[in-house]
Amino acid sequence: MQTLRWSENFATKIKDLDAANESLFYLLGHLCDQGVECDGTSCLGDSTCQKVDALVAFLTRNMAAEEATMDKWDFPAREAHAKDHNYVVTRLLEWRRVSICRVPARDAFCDFIHSWTTRHILTFDREFGRWAERTAYAPGLAPLPEEWLPVPMVTAPGGCCTKLRQDEILRRRPLPETTDCL
């Protein structure tokens, strides 16, 4: 069974998303720790595994917040990202009636959730972070003021078009006064 540890390699540069993911790593580290076992009664009979229920509750709460941010920011890859969220929740609900505290179920469950978490963050969450950084939303949830957003083309004095670099906009440098087209 693999060990899952948070590192900056998983960072998206979206503060709230990174905090939620770091908390997920902590939760999974304790959920899958061989020394942490339930009393076994929640995994028998008609009841479901409390550990899986707690993980589903944690994930659905954080995924809903993440998807609301994607909607607010109009993230173009939101649908595929949300589909991967739905996939893991569906799979976790299948695990609810399995006693994950007993080997080999625990190892199979932890391998699955560790693998999904790593793949999801490195693929979907980091893509969201890169997009947010390119569009000037990161590192917090509030977008930058409109005058700080990158502008791809402007009309320079004299009516000619010039491309502006994003760092010139972000530093609020004045437009060069030239009539030469670049």
| pLDDT averaged per 10 residues, the chain (length 182) | 81 90 89 62 58 88 93 92 96 79 77 94 95 71 44 40 38 41 39
For 13, the token pair is 């540069």
Token digits for 30?
């304790």
pLDDT of residue 30: 78
Rg (CA), the chain: 23
Q: Which pLDDT does position 162 carry in this prediction?
A: 37
pLDDT of 29? 82
pLDDT of residue 166: 39
Q: In this structure, which topology does domain 8-134 adopt according to CATH? A: Four Helix Bundle (Hemerythrin (Met), subunit A) (1.20.120)
What pLDDT was estimated at residue 17? 92
Give the residue carrying structure tokens 């900056």: 8
State residue 131's pLDDT score: 92
Peptide linkage before 143 cis (omega within 30 of 0): no
User: How confident is the model over 96-106, as pLDDT tens digits?
Assistant: 777 666 667 77
Distance from first CA to last CA of the chain, Å, rounded?
A: 58
Q: From CA 30, how far away is CA 28, in angstroms rounded?
A: 5
Residue boundaries of the structural domains of the chain? 8-134, 144-182
Q: Which amino acid is at 80?
A: A
Tokens of 27: 């939760």
**Residue 110 near residue 32, CB atoms below 8 Å:** yes
